[in-house]
A and B are shown apart, each in its own frame.
Chain A
């Protein structure tokens, strides 16, 4: 009982300090980051629309939304990982592995219910996540090293299970491809799944004890441990969630593109991390909101879609993406500095 009271006191404390930000420039940016991001997205869309009128058509917007759905599902998991001061470079490989195994399963059993195919993918992803969580939380390996190593293992396993071959569209039953192309109430399934995940994740991280513990571990692992939070379990949970979401994304990806390859989503983890840092998730841990990363993912999705439409060479995309990550990270750091300075100024004794 005593443990839980101290724990909630710590959680409340961080809440209060977040609420009491005074009106300095950086605090304003931190507070209205989502609004700024939204304004930027609107301005960007208008700019692109002027250059190419086919940008803001219903089909194209739908296209952007379905593309962003997978990215943002992964970003939800990545946000949790980054909040605990970690990073997961293996998600592209986890995605490929679970997508490949799901695709192989349905090509052998064409009558399998699509939900079972999703379950297979999520299951594989969960196993990958549990292994990573074990390495990070229990063996205590740095997340970057553990995920870098397992990235290669998962990627290698993807090639090994498929024997280097592709699973292509004609090997997949229509029901499986229907996961990504079908729709409910006129909205594409991918978008619906993504929205459900946002809502569940929002409730989980903002309104459950375990969710708040994730933030506590990220803002200060030592005091979280002292307050009675089992940090190891929280870390393990976070990587497992990330793995499960990657598995889900793997099935959706394979179903959407109707092909599973050994190098599916290679390097995709970088886009996911970019979406997170754009959305204001702090690499130093403890900070991050669902609304932020959704906007970050949408911004990236729009950029990927719009650059070819305004005749930017595809070879510029990598550079632009990298620069955006760097600028977003640097701006985050500067904003945090401003807030910290503010806190110091208020601490008059």
Chain B
């Protein structure tokens, strides 16, 4: 861990304001819109765009807590498995006679519990990186999902539940409203509360934060629990949209979530980045994917694009640092 100096608060200048990563994302989103409009005449249509957001917002819930985790210099690659496990448990409980409302509560509880276990292991075994802990729990959680449902699917959910992911409030998708509420809440938590400031402090220097009286362990556990909880929220919307659930759902979601966060300008070294960046990245990747889907770009090609996007969004700040200061980060 290298010491880093906190920058002095600079005066507001128009140049600095527009040279932020977030503006680059805005420009990229506009570029994607222009490209997509040229590619397909069906793209630029309010109903289309509105329904497109419904398609990619389910995993966006996990982006919000992942911002906190990466800000702290950690990573959580088990979120996809938590989605699968909590969704499978919810479906199985409903099929065994539990009312759907209670099954959803259990789903959220299972997600939070999984996240809490991740946090506890990471805090109690500091010599282990979050990578290996969540790698192990990633296999275990999905393993439990397989034990519960084997190769079966669970479905036949009540009508109202199926509409959660497809419904509108007025003219706006329910999932978009829910995401907006959560996004504002998480943004507030990160930027306007002492909790958020402490997350930044941990990301900049965990040891110094501990000596300054920040309860690093407690904050880490809370953040990982939140990640589990939001994975369960994703599980509810994903299950509702698919109408059934299987142990292999949400495979590879962790990659997309991490890609969105990193593309949003949150530094993997910790301590740098803002919530708005990650939210912009959600829409950037979402619309990019939707537009390319409209012109029949294959899912495999999307995989390549996503992987390259992840690499470039991490590489650009590193290269910039290397060429401006002549040293490695």
CB-CB < 8 A to B127: which residues of A? 284, 333, 336-337
A135 nearest CB neighbor, chain B only = B311
Interface stretch, picked from A56-64, A73-81, A107-115, A312-320, is A312-320
Question: Is the beta-carbon distance between B143 and A318 smaller than 8 angstroms?
Answer: yes
Interface residue B14 (Cβ < 8 Å from any Cβ of A): no
Q: Known contacts A135-B315, A157-B304; decide if A148 and B255 are in contact (CB<8 Å).
A: yes
Measured CA separation A164–B298 after assembly (Å): 10
Asked whether A322 lies within 8 Å of B137 as measured between CB atoms, the reply is yes
B residues 99-140 in Cβ contact with A at 8 Å? 121, 125, 127-129, 131-133, 135-140
Q: How many residues of B contact A (CB 8 A)?
A: 48
Contacting residue for B146 out of A283, A319, A330, CB 8 A: A319
Is B288 at the interface (CB under 8 A from chain A)?
A: no
State the CA gap A332–B289 with chains docked (Å). 42
- Contacting residues of chain A (294-349) with chain B, CB-CB under 8 angstroms: 313, 315-323, 325-326, 329-330, 333, 336-337
- Could you list some 8 contacts between A and B, CB below 8 A? A140-B318, A141-B268, A148-B255, A152-B304, A156-B300, A156-B303, A317-B143, A321-B143
A139 within 8 A of B: yes
- Contact mask A262-299 → B, CB, 8 Å, 1/0? 10000000100100010000011000000000000000
Q: B253-266, CB under 8 A of A: which get 1 and which 0? A: 00100110010000
Set A145, A157, A315: member contacting B310, Cβ < 8 A: A145
Chain A residues within CB distance 8 Å of chain B: 87, 135, 139-142, 144-146, 148-153, 155-157, 159-160, 164, 262, 270, 273, 277, 283-284, 313, 315-323, 325-326, 329-330, 333, 336-337
B147 contacts partner chain A, Cβ-Cβ < 8 Å: yes
Chain B: minimal CB distance from A166 (Å) = 14
CB of B144 within 8 A of CB of A319, answer yes
Nearest chain B CB to A37's CB is how many angstroms away? 18
| CB-defined contacts of A141 to chain B, threshold 8 Å | 268, 311, 314-315, 318
Cα A139 to Cα B319 with chains together (Å): 6
Q: Which residue of B lies closest to A325 (CB)?
A: B136
B150 and A313 contact, CB distance less than 8 A = yes
Structural contact, A156 and B315, CB atoms closer than 8 A: no
Known: A140-B318, A329-B125. 17 other contacts (CB 8 A): A140-B328, A141-B314, A145-B258, A145-B310, A150-B307, A152-B306, A153-B304, A153-B308, A156-B302, A164-B298, A319-B144, A323-B140, A323-B143, A330-B121, A330-B128, A333-B127, A333-B128
**B255 engages A152 (CB within 8 Å):** yes
How many interface contacts (CB-CB < 8 Å) are there between A and B?
143
Contact status B329-A140, CB under 8 Å: yes
Min CB gap A117→B, angstroms: 24
Q: Are B144 and A326 in contact (CB under 8 A)?
A: no
CB distance from A81 to the nearest CB of B (A): 12
Residue of B nearest to A316 (CB): B147
- Report the bound CA distance from A186 to B266 in whole Å: 57
A70 to chain B, nearest CB (A): 20
The residue on A at minimum CB distance from B146 is: A315
Do B255 and A322 touch (CB < 8 A)? no
Interface residue ranges of B139-175 to A (CB < 8 Å): 139-144, 146-147, 150-151
- Whole-angstrom distance between the Cβ of B263 and the nearest chain A Cβ: 11
A142, A145, A273 interface centre (most CB from chain B within 10 Å)? A145
Interface centre among A141, A159, A319, A322 (most CB of B within 10 A): A322
> Per a CB cutoff under 8 Å, which of B132, B140, B300 touches A319?
B140
Q: How distant is the Cα of A81 from the Cα of B138 in the complex, in angstroms?
A: 21
Q: Given the complex of chains A and B, what is the CA–CA distance between A323 and B40 in angstroms?
A: 48
**Inter-chain contact A144/B75, CB cutoff 8 Å:** yes
- B197 smallest CB distance to A (angstroms): 24
Indicate which residue in B77, B304, B328 contacts A160 across the interface (CB closer than 8 Å).
B304
Please give, as numbers and ranges, the residues of chain A lying within 8 Å of B131 by CB-CB distance. 87, 144, 283
Smallest CB gap from B252: residue in A = A152
